Structure 1
Amino acid sequence: MTPEQLSDVVRSALAAAVERGVLAVDVPAEVVIDRPKNPEHGDYATNVALRLAKAAGRPPREVAEVLAAELRAVDGIAGVDVAGPGFLNITLAKDALGAIAVRAVTAGEAYGRTETLAGQRLNLEFVSANPTGPVHIGGTRWAAVGDALGRLLTASGAQVSREYYFNDAGAQIDRFARSLMAAAHGRPVPEDGYAGDYIADIAAEVVAAEPGVLELPEDEQQERFRVRGVELMFAEIKRSLAGFGVVFDTYFSEKTLHDSGALEKAVARLREQGHVYEADGAVWLRTTDFADDKDRVLVKRDGEPTYFAADCAYYLDKRERGFDRVVIMLGADHTGYVGRYKALVAAMGDDPAVNLEILIGQLVNLVRNGEPVRMSKRAGTVVNLEDLVDAIGADAARYALARASVDQQIDLDLDAWTRRTNDNPVFYVQYAHARISSLLRGAADLGLVLGEAGDVDTSLLAEQRESDLLRAVGEFPRVVASAAELRAPHRVARYLEELAGTYHRFYDACRVLPRGDEEATPLTTARLWLCAATATVLRNGLDVLGVHAPERM
């Protein structure tokens, strides 16, 4: 019985008590089930009696005693104790606890998936680096976290579309084009331009693709370098992200908003809502009506739309594509942008608390040999995605970047993440999976197989280390659901590390395979199922993070 199943059991017990008239409360939509810190207090615990006592008009311990009586009659529950001010400590029957292993193995890839977010249609935008250079380390963090979050939300039943918004219009693209032109002509990069070896490489590719480009008038040259350069740069960005295991459902061009009339449509929509006015020759959105610190310009005096106008058009486009909620992941340097974006959503007639979600991520600092790593010859300014992958590998990079809460700054020690020791978290987790894979291969060599689910006696898993591991395996669906709800992939990583440790302790204490002339027993089979269940969870958890689960290391 998993925590989710036990939660339903407790809710059913509550409903039964209400129906019989011994409790007068509304049955909550969810009952929280926890694991006691002290295993002697049972397999699981809940504070539901404390939560319902006020509504019931009775002391918490009385409510707990009523529930305990209902639960003691449930098959699969061996005992229920009322503790402290009204906690319920629940001990499962051995076969009920052991059944977790069978459920995990038989569910396979589906184990851990829930429907907690079913019905939600989410647009998840992340990375969205300008196509003027390689993906820098900040964007790399968003690639790892964003992709993991997309996997989490999908595993929890949401319909998720991953989207990359690339700014292929505006002043930064003009600077990029002028930088390419200068490199092609052998001139220094403009003072406000982009530096790095990649500029010369792309400039050479443009000239090779269009041999006569350097003979064109300057304005035509710039346009050709802009179009072809952005195309080549973005192709490289997509290639490096794909090598990192991150592929988007939609790559959305800002330029299409300008070319399709979407900006004018968005301004018209905002005007219809009564929030647009004109002053000093410009068109403004009255965002101060929605708690912004100042009103925002939509169209400048010269008739050029602002970036903010493009953001308005982009948000409207997403909503018209049918997304219930727009989720945007931004770096710490965009914190000041949150207020104006919420204001534009409200000005569109939507509810920012319902239709918008902005996640802000902090910086990543790289360290090697105790010294900060700052420069990349390739990018010319900062360390980029491929630098990090070259240094520690894609699996370690993804795990390291997703392992910390996004609101925490990371100091990532490149030396530590390449060590093949238990001090390296990703190695520790992957090694646990490889260790189980090796054990199962060894079992197969001895002619031992799991057999049918109905033939295994999981009630034999009575040792403390076995119970600890069963409870840990049973936690996985709830960890996934919670991590998705809280937008916190790092919770999965930390859980996997705890699970790996729990497995290693089990393996050291409980011999699985027979030795020498020993015969395999029903306990052998039960422990093989437990090992296979643990491998399933490690594999599924690593997959949520976009990290491989190797069978050999």
Structure 2
Amino acid sequence: MTPAELSQSLFDLVLRLIERRREAGSASADLGLTVADVTLERPRNRDHGDWASSISMKIAKALGANPREIAGELAAGLEQIPGVASVEVAGPGFINIRLEAAAAGALAKTIVDAGENYGTGSTYAGIKINLEFVSANPTGPIHMGGVRWAAVGDSLARVLKAEGADVTREYYFNDHGSQIDRFARSVLASYLGEPTPEDGYGGAYISDIANKVVELYEGDLAALPRDEQQEVFRSIGVDLMFTEIKDKLHSFGVDFDVFFHEDSLHESGAVERAIERLREQGHIFESEGAIWLRTTTFGDDRDRVIIRSSGEPAYISGDLGYYLDKRERGFDQNLVMLGADHHGYVGRLMAMTEAFGDIPGQHHEILIGQMVNLVREGEPVRMSKRAGTIVTLDDLVDAVGVDAGRYALVRSSSDSQVDIDLDQWGKRTNDNPVFYVQYAHARTRSVARNAATSGVERTAFAPELLTHDSESALLGVLQEYPRIVALAAELREPHRIARYIEELAGYYHRWYDNCRVIPLGDEPVTDLHRTRLWLNDATGQVIRNGLGLLGVSAPERM
């Protein structure tokens, strides 16, 4: 019996109980419950059973009854359901449910049959989501903040798609503004052998870009006036930086559906359309020769200049055009991942959303990520060999590889600062979390190969034989996977997947130590061995599915 089936059965009992109370005159209105309200939880103490529910305490007040009384009625109904071994009422009204071994063990076959679809859901079916992440300026290699968003954003996209969403991964290139001018002047200075401009960019990559521009330019650079030289280095140099960023992210397992250029907003008239839309809605005013958006109406601490008195667009003008462009492209939800230095920017973006008539947090959601530090031998790694002043994607991958790098970045909540110990993440021991999980998967595949050699095949399935405590515990954790995926999608927290599969790996290793899939010596192959192979393969499938949501490989051998 799956958790979904048990929830549905409990929900049906709740509806019948409410109807009885209504007929008796103690409940006068429909409580508006759905099956999602009837949640099941794993008891912390496994002696309390396989599942627990607090639904009695949620509905007792509306029914004018004592929670334990409600729980007792529901427990009596649950005990009649095939596959339920026993039901107890505990505390103020908790319902503790214990399943028969066969009902609990049936999950192993369910998982194997579902394969990579096990754990997927339909929470976001029919919803178009634009997920914008990384969006590093094309003025240098991606620093660790952007790398963190690459891992987290890609994993979140996978999780949302697993819950049925139509997800578009989008990269917003900031190719309009002063930072591009500083980049161009820095590359030009390198070409001319001049010192890096005071507000420019340093690092060996600037010289690399300058040399590549010289190779690619078809003409005599030296003969051009300085302003034309700078334009050459700007146009070709930025394109080279774009290409390098895309290539590095691809090698990190992160690809995008859309690369959106900020420049296009100003060239296409998107900004002007956004201003006109807001003007029609009464949120635009003019003062001191500038055009303003009245964001204080929606909780911002001050109104915002959109077009300065000089006629130059303020930075928020691009945000207006970009948000409207996304909505015009048909996205129901727009998620944007920003670094910690953008925390103060959230208020004006939410005010802008509301000014357009949309709902902050629903149509437009901002996720803030904290910084990442790399540590080696107990000391922070402070700069890149190539970038000079920052730590980059290459530094992480060179030290620990793509799998460990991605896993280390997505394993912790993105709103907390994290230190990645390169010595720990480079080890091939159980002290390295990604090795621990990948080794568990490799072990499931090794067991399967050895089982085939020993004549153990999945030709029979007798779940009632899975009675060992470690089997019950392992099945209990396997049942949790769909709920964890749904929760990770709802809370935008893919790190929950990582923590879950680490826990699952631990339960699998303990099961492996206690329960044999392959007979010893001359022992005959029995249905218990065959059924345990189903459980072994189910565990491998869930670990593989979880690693897939994190963009991490599941090795067959280690």
Tell me if both proteins adopt one fold, taking TM over 0.5 as the criterion.
yes
Partners of 1:20 and 1:62 in 2: CA distance? 14
1:76 aligns with 2:83: yes
Shift of residue 28, structure 1, vs aligned partner: 2.3
Instruction: Report the TM-score when normalising by structure 2.
Output: 0.97
Which residue matches 1:382? 390
Q: Residue 20 of structure 1: CA displacement?
A: 4.5
Counterpart mapping for 1:285-304 below 5 A: 285-304=293-312
Aligned to 1:349: 357
8 Å CA contact 2:455–2:525 kept in 1: the answer is no
- Cα deviation for residue 353 of structure 1 reads 3.3
Q: 2:107 aligns with which of 100, 104, 122?
A: 100
2:500 is aligned to 495
User: Could you tell me which residue of structure 2 aligns to residue 256 of structure 1?
Assistant: 264
Any conservation in 2 of the 1:177–1:223 contact (CA below 8 Å)?
A: yes
Q: Which moved more, 1:204-213 or 1:319-328?
A: 204-213
In the alignment, does 2:275 pair up with 1:270? Answer: no
User: Which residue number corresponds to residue 15 of structure 1?
Assistant: 15
| Counterpart residue identity of residue 61, structure 1 | R
CA distance in 2, matches of 1:116, 1:78: 31
Q: Does the CA-based 8 Å contact 2:441-2:554 persist in structure 1?
A: yes
- The number of residue pairs the alignment matches comes to 550
Amino acid of the residue matched to residue 264 of structure 1? E
The answer (yes or no) to whether the contact 1:207–1:214 under 8 Å persists in 2 is no
Contact 2:18 2:63 in 1 (8 A): no
Whether the 8 Å CA contact 1:3–1:478 is kept in 2: the answer is no
Q: Quote the Cα distance in structure 1 between the aligned partners of 2:333 and 2:68.
A: 42
Q: 2:88 aligns to what SS in structure 1?
A: strand
Q: Are 2:125 and 2:164, in contact at CA under 8 Å, matched by a contact in 1?
A: yes
Residue 425 (1) aligns with residue 430 (2):
no
String of CA shifts for 1:422-450, please: whole Å, max 9, x gaps. Answer: 11111110100011111101111123221
After the TM superposition, which of the residue ranges 476-485 and 1-10 deviates more from structure 2? 1-10
Distance 1:36 1:464 in 2: 15
The answer to whether structure 1 residue 541 and structure 2 residue 549 are counterparts is: no
CA distance in 2, matches of 1:325, 1:414: 37
How far, CA to CA, are the matches of 1:127 and 1:480 in structure 2?
A: 23
8 Å CA contact retained: 2:121, 2:482:
yes
* Displacement of 1:40: 1.5
CA distance in 2, matches of 1:212, 1:275: 52
Distance across 2 between alignment mates of 1:423 and 1:3: 33
Cα displacement string for residues 90-130 of structure 1 (whole angstroms, at most 9, x for unaligned residues): 01121110111111100000000011222321111110000
C-alpha contact 1:15 1:27 (8 A) present in aligned 2: no
Q: Deviations 1:272-320 (Å, cap 9, x if unpaired)?
A: 1111112222111111111111111111122111211011000000000
The answer as to 2:342 corresponding to 1:334 is yes
Residue 66 of structure 1 and its aligned partner are, at CA, apart by 0.9
Task: Name the CA distance, whole Å, in 2 between partners of 1:51 and 1:108.
Answer: 36
Residue in structure 1 matching 2:161, options 154, 175, 178: 154
For residue 75 of structure 2, give the secondary structure of its aligned residue in structure 1.
helix
1:496-549 deviation digits (Å, cap 9, x = unpaired)? 111000001111111221122111100001100000000000000000011111
Q: What is the correspondence of 1:153-192 to structure 2 with a 5 Å cutoff? A: 153-192=160-199
User: Which one is further off, 512-521 or 213-222?
Assistant: 213-222
Change (3 A) 1:43 1:280: same
Task: Verify the 8 A CA contact 2:456 2:518 in the aligned structure 1.
Answer: no
Structure 1 unaligned residues grouped into runs of 5+ = none
1:394-543 to structure 2, matched below 5 A, reads 394-451=402-459, 455-543=460-548
1: CA distance between counterparts of 2:530 and 2:557? 23
Q: 1:339 to 1:355 in 2, by over 3 A?
A: same
In structure 1, what is the Cα distance between the partners aligned to 2:435 and 2:8? 36
How much does 1:147 deviate? Answer: 0.6
Considering only aligned residues, what root-mean-square deviation do their CA atoms show, in Å?
1.3
Q: Residues 372-394 of structure 1, C-alpha deviation per residue, up to 9 Å, x if partnerless? A: 11111211211001110111111
Tell which deviates more after alignment, 5-14 or 513-522: 5-14
Q: Does 1:208 align with 2:219?
A: no
- Per-residue CA shift, 1:141-190, capped at 9, x if unaligned? 00011111111111011111111000111110011111111111222121
**Alpha-carbon deviation of 1:27?**
5.9
State which of 371, 393, 396 in structure 1 corresponds to 2:379: 371
1:136 equivalent in alignment to 2:143: yes
Displacement after TM superposition at 1:253 (Å):
0.4
CA distance in 1, matches of 2:466, 2:127: 40
1:36 aligns with 2:43: yes
CA distance in 2, matches of 1:394, 1:110: 25
Contact 2:335 2:365 (C-alpha < 8 Å) held by counterparts: yes
Matched residue type, 2:17: A
Could you tell me how far apart the structure 2 residues matched to 1:536 and 1:27 are? 37
* Percent identity (aligned): 59
Distance in 2, Cα, partners of 1:185 & 1:469: 66
Unaligned runs of 5+ in 2: none
Are 2:94 and 1:87 aligned? Answer: yes
Alpha-carbon deviation of 1:19? 4.1
d(CA) in 2 for partners of 1:252 and 1:169?
A: 12
- What are the superposed Cα offsets for residues 66-91 of structure 1, whole Å, 9 maximum, x if unpaired? 11111111112111111111110101
After TM superposition, the structure 1 stretch with the greater mean CA deviation from structure 2, 68-77 or 162-171, is: 68-77
- Is contact 1:80–1:91 with CA below 8 Å preserved after alignment? yes
TM-score normalised by L of structure 1: 0.97
- Matched to 1:300, the amino acid is R
